[in-house]
Structure 1
Amino acid sequence: MKHLIFPITIFLFVLFSGQSIGQATPQEMVAKMGRGINLGNVLSAPYEGNWAPAVEETYFDDVLNEGFSTVRIPIRFDKHTTALADVTYTDSSNNYIGSPNDYTVDPTFLDRVEQVTDWALTRGLVAIIDVHGDKWYWESYDATSPEYKTGNDLLAAEDRFRAIWTAISDRFQLKSENLLFEIMNEPYFNMSASQVDNVNTNILSIIRQTNPTRNVIITGGGANSWQAPLQISSSLISSDVHLIATFHYYVPFKFTSSSKQQYSDYNWGTDADKANVDSHFDTVLNWSQTNNIPVFLGEFGADNYCGYDYVNNTCGGYGGPDNTSRVLYHEYVADAAISRGFSFTAWDAGEKSNKTIYKVSDRSWVEDVKNAILGNGTLGVDQVKSKKDFQLFPNPATSVVNIQTHRTISNIHLISSLGQLFSTENSRTIDVSDLKSGIYLVKVLFKNGETNCKKLLIN
């Protein structure tokens, strides 16, 4: 590598002034997360491969290349954790003697979770560990569920859930700030607002022992969809400055789930339909601003056109959304989130599911829906620009950094936070092994004369 000292404009110096290597605030992280996608039905199945093919590293290349910024990774820990039935948690007098130490999360499964999250992180994507499929726990509070528990049985379930989060927190404590934790998925169908607040408070105390500044995603209880975050207590929000609120949006359900037999609303897109979304999202925005907590839309989507089965290449037996309505729904909801400063991850569970965006069998996309989510559709709002110009990975880097882009590059400049030009490169792989730790700017000049810049952290 050539080491050249070269003066650059005050603009670049100002660009870096005030920047630090410290933890991103929740607001900064939500801005960074932008438009994302769920890796649904993979690690959230009882065992990986049950509901969708096991994820491969190429998935994250495909996600990155299209311009997504974030991958939410729903996970189920139940089948990989010591079972309640295998623990003696009461004595002969029926006194509770259990503790979280009674439960172990299979290290091999944690290895797999780490491998998958690292595939995302090394590409500069934001990754979310979402404890998603462990309904056995939140249904423990629901008197209508077979999982309902009281007394010592509930205490044991609580300790088992604490053990899961202790294992996650310990294993991932040294990962970059681009890894986020999401405590529970949709607990509001089974738990009250106070119960969810209590669990969030308890699990946060576990997380903060090893991850004191990691951004954590929480929701509320007792009300679903856009009303869920509004149930989070103000005292919980004020107790921790690294929180992001989340909600899911499948309104109206009779349209978004219209491939099911009991629903037959196949059209969406009237002024009233759009006004309903705007009203709901404005309510969340006002709450967010009042409570000074940013918002992440963790899931949204509508069933496949005509209930399409991408495995058998046939429409479903009960119909489903018309294609124009499905595309418009994804586009409108995505834009409603981004225009209000929310980030999002659209729900995708692969070609074996009723909500398909990515098809792993041939590494292809349902193009019109993907484009709608990314802002490349008919609305033309907030088109994907810099994300599709180029990506850096790994970021942070220690030895080399790779530049990934579909565009033709003329030149690449690597610039320090003090405005020094350390390198002029024409290769898409840059050796940074002999540079000091810190924040640098990678400035790319494209063949058509356009330029774009991204920050690079060198450890």
Structure 2
Amino acid sequence: MQPGWNLGNTFDAVGADETAWGNPRVTKKVLSQVEKQGFKSVRIPVTLGQHEGPAPDYTIDPVVLDRVEEVVDWALDEDLSVLLDLHHDSWMWTNAMPTRHDEVLAQFTATWEQLAERFRDHPRTLLFESINEPQFAGSTGEAQEYALLDELNAAFHQVVRSSGGRNADRVLVLPTLHTDSGQARLDSLVQTFTALNDQNLAATFHYYGYWPFSVNVAGGTRFDATAQQDVTDTFARVRTTLVNAGIPVILGEYGLLGFDRHTGTIEQGEKLKFFEYLGYQARTSGVTTMLWDNGQHFDRTAFTWRDPALFAQLSSSWRKRSGTASTDQVFVHPGAVTEQAITLHLNGTTFRDLSLAGKKLKQGRDYQLSGGTLTLPATLLQRLSGDGAYGTSAELVARFSQGVPWRIEIVNADTPVLAAATGTTDAFAVPTAFRGDRLATMEARYLDGSNAGPHGWTSFKEFDVTFAPDAATGSILLRPAFFAEVADASPVVLTFHFWSGAIVQYTVVRNGTAVTGTVG
């Protein structure tokens, strides 16, 4: 099944049909194209409670069930293994189990009885996943939640196994609480596996990275040692607790949470490093990975990747490691060019060469390499900066003994210039001459130094949710969500951090719905 892909925001969409969340109707060609990208399996999340009739039968709309079966069959025809998953039902009705125990259990049982009957004679390359990201509202605590999840998983197991046919030994996939990889979550699931004593079971968890990095908040702009350690620790727990105990593991969803808005929330090089390292950890841990794609990665009508570099790194990580570096962008200040050093992360590879426009540069003349430090002399950067026009002026490519090359943008930039402005809490933009630079993050503090805005435990605000650069209009947008948690008539000092290292301050004052902004 390695590697796998999610048909996200489709049959799991809450609404009239599979197009409710913006994706086109699934075609057989989509699945054919997914297989051609190198995927061997597809997870098909379905949300069924909205398509079910009343108690006691909870009959699934046959039109919906027929359509799900059609797409499952298309995937199987493409030699893709399929993981069929009961999805948003987890927060739409199964989460009420602490207060509506018997009703929820009856509906859950009826749902899987119908699915088991419909697919009982399908090949064993179709797997079932009991429930996505199980959660419970109004519980007495985690002890009760573990017990309720165990009850759901056991009921799922009993229903499917008793339905006969190929369900007698079909692989059934059981999640941890919240599909989380915390040690207590894993330990509780192991107890369920021990009690069921069934060799045809697999475990699943989800991973979206170290949260500050995953959404770009609290200064988490880089895939630094802390973010990397979170990946390491996650797979170490999974490997020790599940894989080493002989339990197959599927990483049913992975990605970065900032991708739910757009993939630009995380800087390109930093996200490439994340996916390279995650792929390595999963591969060496023996974990099957299934990329979460709600339509933001693989274009389902053009059949192309919206970010080809991201997919190149992803797909390479399924088989091997790639060299990376401390940065993929070098900022040159026209008129004040100095040499710059980049730290190479070889990841078990060896450095091969550095090239420009397909032509290899000469070590010792064009650049220096000492250990893992690549130095770009001022003479090279001066030449690459061209006429000094702001923006990307050249791209260097570092190649290693294996894996994906590492691309380094040479960017001409000067310190951005901001301007005063007025607006409202619903629409406020800081006029910004970016001058080639790129915004990394924003801090917000009141004059007394205390933190302002959402996530009050940190001065660094969440990228795109509270602020967002808009190079096309020459502005930095401050979102309504930011002002919603800013005190009235209290000046807030914003500190904008740019990727070049430049830091610029700006002050905003909210008076009711009116906002004024001044430089400094």
Under a length normalisation based on structure 1, what TM-score does the superposition of the two structures give? 0.62
1:359 equivalent in alignment to 2:312: no
1:49 equivalent in alignment to 2:19: yes
Alignment of 1:7-406 (within 5 A): 33-46=1-14, 47-51=17-21, 52-83=23-54, 87=55, 99=56, 102-134=57-89, 135-141=91-97, 149-150=99-100, 154-188=101-135, 190=137, 192-210=145-163, 211-221=167-177, 224-227=180-183, 228-237=185-194, 238-258=196-216, 263=217, 265=219, 267-303=221-257, 307-308=261-262, 320-350=265-295, 356-365=296-305, 366-375=307-316, 380=321
Give, in angstroms, the shift of residue 34 of structure 1: 0.9
- Larger helix proportion, structure 1 or 2? 1
RMSD of equivalent CA atoms: 2.4
SS in 1 for 2:177: coil
Distance 1:126 1:64, change over 3 A: same
Structure-2 separation of matches of 1:69 and 1:245: 18
**Percent of paired sites with the same residue:** 28
SS in 1 for 2:238: helix
Distance 1:328 1:378, change over 3 A: farther
Give the aligned residue type for 1:255.
Answer: F
Give, in angstroms, the shift of residue 362 of structure 1: 1.8
Structure-2 separation of matches of 1:172 and 1:305: 33
Give, in angstroms, the shift of residue 189 of structure 1: 6.1
Residue by residue over 1:301-347, the C-alpha shift from the partner in whole angstroms, topping out at 9 and shown as x without a partner, is: 015679548xxxxx6xxxx1101112221222122112111101011
Structure-2 separation of matches of 1:306 and 1:124: 29
SS in 2 for 1:63: helix
Structure-1 separation of matches of 2:80 and 2:320: 26
Give, in angstroms, the shift of residue 162 of structure 1: 1.0
Residue by residue over 1:257-314, the C-alpha shift from the partner in whole angstroms, topping out at 9 and shown as x without a partner, is: 33xxxx35453332343232112211110111453211111111015679548xxxxx
Give the aligned residue type for 1:232.
Answer: L
Structure-2 separation of matches of 1:345 and 1:247: 11
Structure-2 separation of matches of 1:209 and 1:118: 23
Distance 1:371 1:265, change over 3 A: farther
Q: Contact (CA 8 Å) 2:153, 2:174: kept in 1 or not?
A: yes
Give the aligned residue type for 2:201.
Answer: L
Q: For residue 3 of structure 1, what is the aligned residue in structure 2?
A: none
Give the aligned residue type for 2:34.
Answer: V
Give the aligned residue type for 2:124.
Answer: E
SS in 1 for 2:168: coil
Structure with higher RCO (Cα < 8 A, 6+ apart): 1
Matched positions, count? 306
Q: Contact (CA 8 Å) 2:212, 2:219: kept in 1 or not?
A: yes
SS in 2 for 1:187: coil
Give the aligned residue type for 2:200.
Answer: H
Distance 1:305 1:223, change over 3 A: closer
Give, in angstroms, the shift of residue 59 of structure 1: 1.0
Q: For residue 400 of structure 1, what is the aligned residue in structure 2?
A: none
Q: For residue 385 of structure 1, what is the aligned residue in structure 2?
A: none
Q: Contact (CA 8 Å) 2:3, 2:318: kept in 1 or not?
A: no
Distance 1:358 1:194, change over 3 A: same
Q: Contact (CA 8 Å) 1:201, 1:236: kept in 2 or not?
A: no
Give, in angstroms, the shift of residue 368 of structure 1: 1.8
Give, in angstroms, the shift of residue 225 of structure 1: 3.7
Structure-2 separation of matches of 1:106 and 1:205: 24
Give the aligned residue type for 1:302.
Answer: L
Structure-1 separation of matches of 2:80 and 2:281: 22
Give, in angstroms, the shift of residue 193 of structure 1: 1.1
SS in 1 for 2:242: helix
Give the aligned residue type for 1:363.
Answer: F
Give, in angstroms, the shift of residue 371 of structure 1: 2.0
Q: For residue 393 of structure 1, what is the aligned residue in structure 2?
A: none
Moved more, 227-236 or 205-214: 227-236
Unaligned residue ranges in structure 2 (runs of 5+): 138-143, 323-520
Structure-2 separation of matches of 1:106 and 1:283: 41
Q: For residue 491 of structure 2, what is the aligned residue in structure 1?
A: none
Alignment of 1:414-425 (within 5 A): none
Q: Contact (CA 8 Å) 2:13, 2:47: kept in 1 or not?
A: yes
Q: Contact (CA 8 Å) 1:40, 1:349: kept in 2 or not?
A: yes
SS in 1 for 2:85: strand
Q: For residue 430 of structure 1, what is the aligned residue in structure 2?
A: none
Distance 1:138 1:34, change over 3 A: same
Alignment of 1:439-454 (within 5 A): none
Give, in angstroms, the shift of residue 233 of structure 1: 4.2
Structure-1 separation of matches of 2:243 and 2:311: 30
SS in 2 for 1:246: strand
Residue by residue over 1:200-259, the C-alpha shift from the partner in whole angstroms, topping out at 9 and shown as x without a partner, is: 00111000012110001102227834543332142533522211011111121222233x
Structure-2 separation of matches of 1:40 and 1:223: 16
Determine which structure has more spread, i.e. the larger CA radius of gyration.
2
Q: Contact (CA 8 Å) 1:126, 1:178: kept in 2 or not?
A: yes
Q: Contact (CA 8 Å) 1:36, 1:346: kept in 2 or not?
A: yes
SS in 2 for 1:217: strand
Q: Contact (CA 8 Å) 1:43, 1:74: kept in 2 or not?
A: yes
